[in-house]
Amino acid sequence: MLDQYTIRLIRAPLKLLSAFPDKLGITANQVTVVGFLFGLCALPALILEQYLWALAFIIINRIFDGLDGAIARRQGITDCGGFLDITLDFLFYSLIPFGFVLANPEANAVAGAFLIFSFIGTGSSFLAFAIMASKRNIESPVYKQKSLYYIGGLTEGTETIACFVLFCLFPQYFAYLAFVFGTLCWITTATRIWAGYQTLK
C-alpha cells in the first residue's frame, strides 16, 4: 500500500549512492547477494534473542535491496537480476518469522507458521500475476522501473519491513503482531486474486 510513496522518497538518495559502486564496477547482482548474506545474519541473531542486532541486519539487507535496483537502472535491468532479487527477497522475508519461532518455539511457533503461510499467499499471487502479465505485455502504471509487474495491496514491502522492525523492538508481542499482520496479508492475497483475475479476464 505504501510502496509507491516510499519508492519516490528513497529514489533520489539511492540514485546518488549507486554511483559509487557503479564506478567501481560492482554489479547489481553482487549487491543483491551481499545484501542477502547480511540478511542471513539476522537468523542466528534472532535465535540468540539479540533482537537489536537482528534489526541492524534487517535494515542493512533492505538498504542493499534498494541499492541493487538503483545500480541495475544504471547498468541495465536484466531478467536474471530480477529473478535473483525476488527469489532472495522471498527467502529473507520467510527467514525472519522462522528466526522468532526458533528463538521461542512454545510462544511463537503457531503465529510464525501462520505468518509464513500468509506469505505463501501474498507471494504466489504476486508471482502468478507477474507471469501472466508478462505473457500479455501488461505494464505497471505505478512501478514502471521494476523488472516484474505486480499488483499492489494492503501489505507490500514497506509494511512488511515496518512489521519486522516492530517484531525486533517488541519481541514479547511477536505472536500478536504476527497474527495481525498475517491476517492483513490474507486480505492482500484475496484482493490480488480478485484484481488479477478481473484484469486477465
Give catalytic residues, as residue numbers.
Answer: 89
Instruction: Identify residue 103 by its one-letter amino acid code.
Output: A
Q: How far is CA 168 from CA 37, 80, 154, 172, 175, in A?
A: 19, 32, 22, 9, 12
Question: What phi and psi, each to the nearest 5 degrees, are found at residue 82?
Answer: -65, -40
Closest CA to 7 of 144, 119, 129, 186: 144
> Which residues, 6+ apart, have CB-to-CB distance to 28 below 8 Å?
68, 69, 71, 72, 75, 81
